[in-house]
Amino acid sequence: MRDFTHDHSALALNTATLGHNLPGHGAGWAPERIIDECAARGLAGIVFWRREIGTRAVGIGERVRAAGMQVVGLCRTPYLVGAEAGTLDEVKASIDTAAALGAPVLTVVTGGTEPGTKGVAESQKILADRVAAVAGHAAGCGVNLALEPLNPMFGGNRTVLFTVADSLRVCDMVGAANVGVAVDVYHAWWDTGLADSCAAAGPRILGYHLCDWLADTCDMLLDRGMMGDGVADLRAIRAAVERAGFTGPCEVEIFSARNWWQRDPREVLDVMVERFRSLC
C-alpha cells in the first residue's frame, strides 16, 4: 500500500464541497474557476454534478485534462427505483453526459422503496433489473456505474442500498463488469463489516468519498464534517479500500450548509488539502 501521508497527489474535489452554488451557499464559481483553483493546488482531479455541466460536458472535460488533472467522476444518475424514479432514457442520458465529460465513473443513487412494496429486498431486485438494462449502454460509452450505499437514515425515498454488502449483492445480480460500488465515509463509517465488504468488493470499488461524521450531526443532508472534525476512523477506512486494490483518487464530498458552505471556497480548498495530507 502506498503511503500517502503528507502527499495529496491522490486528492480530488467533489464540487459539492464548494456549496453547489445553492442560494446562500458557495461563491458562485463557474466550472472553469473550480478547475483553475484545483490545478493551482496540485489536485489529482475533480468530480462534477450534472447540474453544473449542462451541455458543456466536452469542453469542461477537455479543460480539466489540459490543466493536468482527471475528471474522476460524475454525480449522478436519476433515481432508478422508488416513487421518484426517472426513465431508463433519462438514466442513459446521464451516462452520455459522463461519457462526453470523459468521466470513467457515474455514481448511482438508487432512489427509495418501490411503490406498492415494503422493505428493501424486492426493490433491490427491481434495481438490479434496471441497472442491467443500462449497463451495456454504459459499457459502450466507457462508463462504469458505481452503486453507492447511503446511510440508513436515507431509506424510504432516497436509497435501497445501505451497506457495501448491499451494493455487492446487487452487483452480483446484475453481473456486468462495469458495475461496482462507491464507498463513502459519511454513509459507511459506522459499519463494522466494512473492511470485510471492501475485501469482498476487490476491484469493484470504483470510488472512495471522503468527509467526516460529526458527533453532533444536526441535519441529515447538509451537515457533513471536514476530515478530522468528526468520529470516523478515516485511516482505517482508507486502508480497507486500498487493501481491496483501490488506487483511484480520494474524492472529498462535504455538504455543509452551516459551516464550510459559508466560507471562502479558497479557504475550503486549502483546509481540505492540509487535512488530507495530515489525517487521511
Closer residue to its own copies in complex, CB, 13/232:
232
Per CB under 8 A, the segment of 38-46, 93-101, 120-128, 259-267 that binds its own copies is 120-128
Closer residue to its own copies in complex, CB, 129/233:
233
- Assess 1 for contact with its own copies (CB under 8 A): no
- Assess 276 for contact with its own copies (CB under 8 A): no
Residue (of 70, 232, 240, 249) closest to 151 by Cα position: 232
Residue (of 223, 150, 216) closest to 183 by Cα position: 150
Identify whether the C-beta of residue 55 lies closer than 8 Å to the C-beta of residue 95.
Answer: no
Residue (of 88, 137, 80) closest to 109 by Cα position: 80
Closer residue to its own copies in complex, CB, 98/234:
234
Per CB under 8 A, the segment of 99-107, 115-123, 242-250, 268-276 that binds its own copies is 115-123
Name the minimum Å distance from CB 81 to its own copies: 12
Name the minimum Å distance from CB 250 to its own copies: 17
Closer residue to its own copies in complex, CB, 86/155:
155
Name the minimum Å distance from CB 261 to its own copies: 20
Per CB under 8 A, the segment of 51-59, 67-75, 90-98, 146-154 that binds its own copies is 146-154
Residue (of 207, 212, 203) closest to 245 by Cα position: 203
Residues 6+ apart with CB under 8 A from 13: 34, 38, 43, 45, 46, 47, 251, 252, 269, 272
- Assess 217 for contact with its own copies (CB under 8 A): yes
| Spatial separation of the C-alpha atoms in residues 59 and 43, rounded to whole Å | 19
* Cβ atoms within 10 Å, residue 43: 27
* Cβ atoms within 10 Å, residue 116: 7
Closer residue to its own copies in complex, CB, 50/209:
209
Name the minimum Å distance from CB 8 to its own copies: 21
Identify whether the C-beta of residue 269 lies closer than 8 Å to the C-beta of residue 41.
Answer: yes
Please report, as ranges, the residues that interact with its own copies according to CB under 8 A.
83, 112-113, 117-121, 124, 151-153, 155-157, 162-163, 165-166, 169, 189-193, 213-217, 220, 230-234, 236
